[in-house]
Amino acid sequence: MNRKNLSGRRFCNRPKGMVWALCYLAMLGLFAKGCSPANKNSDEIKSDSDKPVRTKPIEGGKPRMSDPTLESSPATSDGENDQDSVDSSSASDVPALSERVGETQLRLDPPPPIRDHRLENGWPTFRGNPLANGVATSSLVAPTELEIIWSHRVQRAEFSCTACLTTIDERATVVIGDLDGLVLALDLEDGRPLWSFEIKFGYACSVAYHEGHFFVGNLDGKFICLDSKGNLQWEYQAGSQVDGSATFYDDLVLFTSQDSYLYALNRHTGELAWSVAGGDQLRCAPTIHQSQVFLAGCDAILHGIRLDDQSSSMEIEIESPTGSTPAVMGNVLYFGTMQAGFKAVDVGTQEVIWTFDNDRQSLEFAGNAAVTPEVIVVGEKSRRVWGLHPETGEVVWQQTVSSAVETSPVVVGNVVYVASKDGRLWAFERLTGEILWQREFRGRFNSSPAVGYERLVIATDDGNIYCLGPAN
């Protein structure tokens, strides 16, 4: 097992003592996803380091296997487990539902059936696929705006992460974590609760699914693996909170932490395979391309790491910290920064091809881009949504919305869905930026939409999960 250090630079100073405590409490409210400790700013209610890479033995790094006391959430308030949503033959394997799990309200009754349960039509990871391009494989056809099919309210909950949509036992399933430590699974078709798992600290990153298991890290740095029925399989303790969702490579699950490390664990056992340190906090999900993993972090460097030997394949100055996850198209990485615009980097030449900064205006990109061959779509905090040309970075279209966009767009065919901070969901024509429709929800959107199985799922900061789709 190896631990490597890629850079000695540090851009984001870590607060200490009482300052850290105050910042940590602020993080629980998710006032920002950025790298600095303090950043700026009815339900349909309207590295320049020249130091060589050094390898040293890992200290500790042992996973803790499942603890029977953690496997089940507390029973429901009436003392009975909800067994209606699972087969009777397997009900004993399913944890009791948390008392915070509420009731689902059907808006379309009966709900339209989900016709295609194929795994590839889901949204299993934060940006939908290993390329992190935010492009859905499922269709989502609606002549006008999408209808709310169902909504589910979780008590004392706040959501800031994107839902995971996958298929379990031929049932399309939603799995999402909240900021108070609950992971909840719902039937995607009708919103019925299936299972829940609960621990002390909450989740700021999305649950990721791979081959029958769910993986997620929390605000305490604990990274866990659950089976398909919500039972804890193993947990691993990182050095600080986990903001970025997991990515998979062979038998490894990879994730980053604010302790500056990229971790690679055996996804079956939770044993540490290796870890590599960046120069400062890492808040992005790892992006894998051509047997390399790419990370952009608070040290203002885009790191490339070879997966076979964990050596550095590149270090490119990006002029600003970032928490964005790089998206891949062809041989180019696309991502935004906190202070130096939106960038395109050629992996082959290891050069910044172009930077979009709107004539040197201060643009802060907190979300991630949706990348297609004709246009790249990304939102930023000054209430604008940009369509950029992927080869030149020139503006193809621009729209100003009602509030800051700190979430990530999703492309479905020729429609782009964007969630703004004030609780509005927007639909744009992908090539022209024309506003097709918008809908306002109760609560605010800190989480991005997920699209799978002809459904769009999004959650608000007041504990509501919404499922939208075509009426027929």
pLDDT tens string 264-312? 999 999 999 999 998 899 999 999 999 999 999 899 999 999 999 999 9
In DSSP terms, which residues pair with 288 in a beta bridge?
293
Separation of alpha carbons 196 and 175, rounded Å: 9
Instruction: Give residue-wise pLDDT tens across range 379-430.
Output: 999 999 999 999 999 999 999 999 999 999 999 999 999 999 999 999 999 9
Structural domain of 231: 116-469
* Predicted pLDDT at 145: 84
> Which residue reads 């907190």 in tokens?
366
Distance, CA of 128 to CA of 166 (rounded, Å): 11
User: Of the given ranges (6-15, 137-146, 148-157), which has the lowest mean pLDDT?
Assistant: 6-15
Q: What is the mean pLDDT of residues 60-82?
A: 41
Residue 363 lies in a domain: yes
Q: What is the pLDDT of residue 6?
A: 55
- SS3 call for 162: coil
Q: In this structure, which amino acid lies at residue 457?
A: V
Does residue 203 lie in a domain region?
yes
Q: Where residue 258 falls among pLDDT bands split at 50, 70, 90?
A: very high
Judge whether residue 164 has pLDDT over 70: yes
- Strand stretches in 159-249, DSSP E: 164-168, 171-177, 182-187, 193-198, 208-210, 213-217, 222-227, 232-237, 247-249
| Alpha-carbon span 459 to 117, nearest angstrom | 22
**Number of neighbouring beta carbons within 10 Å of residue 147:** 16
69 pLDDT band, cuts 50/70/90, is very low
Nearest CA among 183, 204, 462, 163 for reference residue 323: 204
Give the N- to C-terminal CA distance of the chain in Å, as an integer: 53
For position 4, what pLDDT does the model report? 59
- Percent of the chain at pLDDT exceeding 90: 71
Which residues are registered as beta bridge partners of 385? 379, 399
Most confident of 23-27, 69-73, 141-145, 372-376: 372-376
Q: 77 in a domain, yes or no?
A: no
39 pLDDT above the threshold of 80: no
Residue 59's pLDDT band (boundaries 50, 70, 90)?
Answer: very low
Return the structure tokens found at 360: 């040197």
How much is the mean pLDDT over the chain? 83
**Contact indicator for 138, 451 with CB cutoff of 8 Å:** yes
Count how many domains the chain has. Answer: 1
In a domain, 328, yes or no: yes
The predicted model gives 23-51 an average pLDDT of 37
Over 90: is that where the pLDDT of 19 sits?
no
pLDDT of residue 43: 39
Q: Which residues pair with 196 in a beta bridge?
A: 184
Q: Give residue 154's identity as a one-letter amino acid code.
A: V
CA dihedral 93, 94, 99, 101 (to 10 degrees): 180
Neighbouring residues of 33: CB distance < 8 A, sequence distance ≥ 6: 204, 243, 283, 323, 366, 406
**CATH number where 453 lies:** 2.130.10.10
Do the beta carbons of residue 421 and residue 405 sit within 8 Å? Answer: yes
Q: Does the pLDDT of residue 259 top 70, yes or no?
A: yes
Q: 75 pLDDT exceeds 70?
A: no
The structure tokens listed for 296 are 């952009």
Q: Which residues lie below 8 Å from residue 237, measured CB to CB, with a gap of 6+? A: 64, 221, 222, 223
Q: What percent of the chain has pLDDT over 70?
A: 79
Overall average pLDDT of the 360-364 stretch: 77
The DSSP annotation for 252-267 comes to: EEEEE-TTSEEEEEET
**Is residue 101 a part of any domain in this protein?**
no
* DSSP label at residue 110: S
Name residues whose C-beta falls within 8 Å of residue 225's C-beta, 6 or more positions apart in sequence.
213, 214, 215, 232, 233, 234, 235, 253, 267, 270
In this structure, is residue 206 part of a structural domain? yes
User: Is residue 256 domain-resident?
Assistant: yes
Q: Could you tell me which residue, 144 or 368, shows the higher pLDDT? A: 368
80 found inside a domain: no
Give 130 or 252, the one with higher predicted confidence: 252
| Interval 167-192 mean pLDDT | 96
Of the listed ranges 19-33, 337-351, 437-451, the least confidently predicted one is 19-33
The pLDDT value given to residue 103: 87
In sequence order, the β-bridge partners of residue 451 are 456
In this structure, of 96-110, 195-209, 407-421, the range with the lowest mean pLDDT score is: 96-110
pLDDT band at 368 (very low <50, low <70, confident <90, very high): very high
